[in-house]
Amino acid sequence: MARDKLLTEMRSTGLDAREVDRPTDFASGFTVQVYPHVQILPLHSLRIVFAPGDPAFPRVHARGPDCPAHRNPDGSLCLWYPKDASSRRWSPGDGGRLLVAIIVRHLRWESAYRSTGVWPGFEAPHGLGSPGLDEQDQIIG
C-alpha cells in the first residue's frame, strides 16, 4: 500500500491526517492520526493502524463519544465483517478517501445508536459459520 497516496487522499477530504509513531506490536506497518474537523469529524479524532501483513484490515480507534455497539474487543471500530464480500469491505486499492467515508459513516451510525438504541445501518451475521454478506453500497457519491 502506498502510504503517501493514502495520506494524500485522506487529506483531500479536508482532514488533518499525519503519519505518527510506528505500531508497537509489529516491526513495520504504519499508523495515521486523523485530527478532528468541525464538519467531518466534529467530536472524534482517529488513530488508524495498518499492519504490514494485513493492510486490508486497519484497526481504527476513535477518541470521542463511546458506543457499546459495533466495537471490536480491542476497542477498535467494527467497520465490516472479514467474511463479507469485497463490495462490503475496504481494501487498500480503494484508497484513503473511501476509508475515511466508511469511518465517518460508522461514527454517524454510532451517534444515532446512542440516541435511539437502534443501529441504523446494515449488520453482518457474526460467528464462525457465517457466510458474510454482499451488498453494493454507494458510500461516496
pLDDT tens, position by position, 7-35: 888 888 777 887 776 655 545 677 777 77
Let me know: does 88 contact 102? Beta carbons within 8 Å. no
**Per-domain boundaries in the chain:** 3-116
More confident residue, 6 or 27: 6
pLDDT of residue 26: 47
More confident residue, 33 or 117: 117
Asked whether the predicted pLDDT for residue 133 surpasses 70, the reply is no
Q: Number of helices and strands (H, E) in the chain? A: 2, 4
What are 9's three cell numbers? Answer: 487522499
Output the pTM of the full model.
0.74
Which residues, at least 6 apart from 49, have a Cβ–Cβ distance to it below 8 Å?
Answer: 23, 29, 30, 31, 58, 59, 60, 61
